[in-house]
Structure 1
Amino acid sequence: MAWFVLILSGMLETAWALSLKASDGFSKPVPTVTFLVTLALSMGGLAYALRTLPVGTAYAVWVGVGAVLTAIVGMIFLDEGVSVLKVVSLVLVVAGIVGLNLAGNGH
């Protein structure tokens, strides 16, 4: 259950990042409230997952999921541009997350 919550929390990181951008410096109420709610849910999910998962791995997965998904959404829907270097870099982030999970706790 912790892994499911962690992945979902990482996805919520994308929601709060996009809401933060849409809030235009907190000048727009609806995106600002959306940012605050999704931020709280994302952090709460991370906190829940950290009760049973190693902090280094869990945090890396949370950040990685959010960063990769946010970059993909930006490239597809926000006209942020796609390049081979960006795609390769995102693949490397995913590979790093997979590697951390395969490494386990190191015991």
Structure 2
Amino acid sequence: MTRIEERTMAGDNRTSASGTGSAWRWLMWGGAAALLALPALAMRFTTEVDWGPEDFTVFGIMLLVACSACELAVRLIAGRAGRLVAIAAIGLAFLLVWAELAVGIFH
């Protein structure tokens, strides 16, 4: 019997191989939602932040892609070290795209 079958029979329906599926997923997606809400909150208190609908759309798509890629990496990569490397690479790519869109660091 596999670990997933054992957990399912015990009433635990988490599907990640590490056994901590639910907690990290809530933290990741909740953090993404908080990051998306942060500029909207900041715009209520300062004129320094001036985002339009297109900014929120692009940032939301970036967060969706990054979080989905992290979920995929955790599901497909067996070792903890490999998962951490993949998540770090996804995070770095996210930050580079964000910085390029914000200030054009590669021009």
Q: TM-score range by the shorter chain?
A: 0.3 to 0.5
Alignment TM-score, normalising by the size of structure 1: 0.36
Q: Which has the higher contact order (CA 8 A, sep 6+)?
A: 1
Bigger Cα Rg: 2
Taking structure 2 as the reference length, the TM-score comes to 0.36
Structure (1 or 2) with the greater helix fraction: 1
